Amino acid sequence: MELVGIAKRKSAAAVAEAVRAGLRRVGESYVQEAARKLPELEALLAESGTAPPRRHFVGRLQRNKARDALRLFDVIESVDRLDLALELERRAAATSRTLDALLQVDLAGEPSKGGVAPGELARLLDACGKLERLRVRGLMAIPPASDDPERSRPWFAKLRELRDALGAGGAELRELSMGMSADFEIAIEEGATWVRVGTALFGPREAA
């Protein structure tokens, strides 16, 4: 299991401190914020001779932000539709690079959240499997909000079951990105390989 430190609305200095302390993966939710912050983060880490972290994008991604996202991030955790996957593939091919991705699944059918419906997941995965530059490494989900972390458990279990069922069909999906500050311990118990922790790591977020 690896920790992805969610740095939304956190300063580059705060993130650099966490990376120097051992954080190996940093997540951002907004492309524009990351475009401002990540170059400063790299400069701060270079000053101390610290290796940069792997950079994850975890927010909803619009197609018109695909080029910038490809430039800024190593992993896109929120691929949820074919047109976005095709755009990322096209941009990656233009720059002769490959990009790791997760397919985001909307387990509870919440209109306010991104994600492919579970019933459409296999079709999207099959289409992405034909791409050369976009490499799907696993699944991601955000369960419905709740004050009780235990209520997240069935959703985490469902994502694991989806992953395992696809794996039984031949798909190689190692990663499960699930769990945040309030419920990451439950997610780990249910098989998370990446947990996305912000507040528990960096403290309360600054006002937008």
**pLDDT, tens digit, for every residue of 124-147?**
999 999 999 999 999 999 999 999
Would residue 186 count as lying in a domain? yes
- Of the pLDDT bands very low, low, confident and very high (cuts 50, 70, 90), residue 43 is very high
At residue 102, the pLDDT reads: 98
How many other CB atoms are there within 10 angstroms of residue 126's CB atom? 12
d(CA 64, CA 70): 11
Would residue 207 count as lying in a domain? no
pLDDT at 112 over 70: yes
pLDDT digits (tens, 9 = 90+) for 54-106: 999 999 999 999 999 999 999 999 999 999 999 999 999 999 999 999 999 99
Provide the CATH number for the domain around residue 141.
3.20.20.10
Would residue 92 count as lying in a domain? yes
pLDDT at 208 over 70: no
Mean pLDDT, rounded, for 181-206: 94
d(CA 83, CA 181): 31
At residue 29, the pLDDT reads: 97
Q: CA angle, corner 202, sides to 37 and 191, nearest 5? A: 105
Q: Are 76 and 88 in contact (CB under 8 A)?
A: yes
Tell me, rounded to whole angstroms, the distance of Cα 30 from its chain centroid: 12
d(CA 151, CA 85): 31
Range of the domain at 32: 2-202
At residue 206, the pLDDT reads: 65
Would residue 208 count as lying in a domain? no
Would residue 181 count as lying in a domain? yes
Would residue 50 count as lying in a domain? yes
Mean pLDDT, rounded, for 145-164: 97
Q: Are 176 and 192 in contact (CB under 8 A)?
A: yes
Task: Label residue 82 exposed, middle or buried (CB < 10 Å: 0-12, 13-18, 19+).
Answer: middle
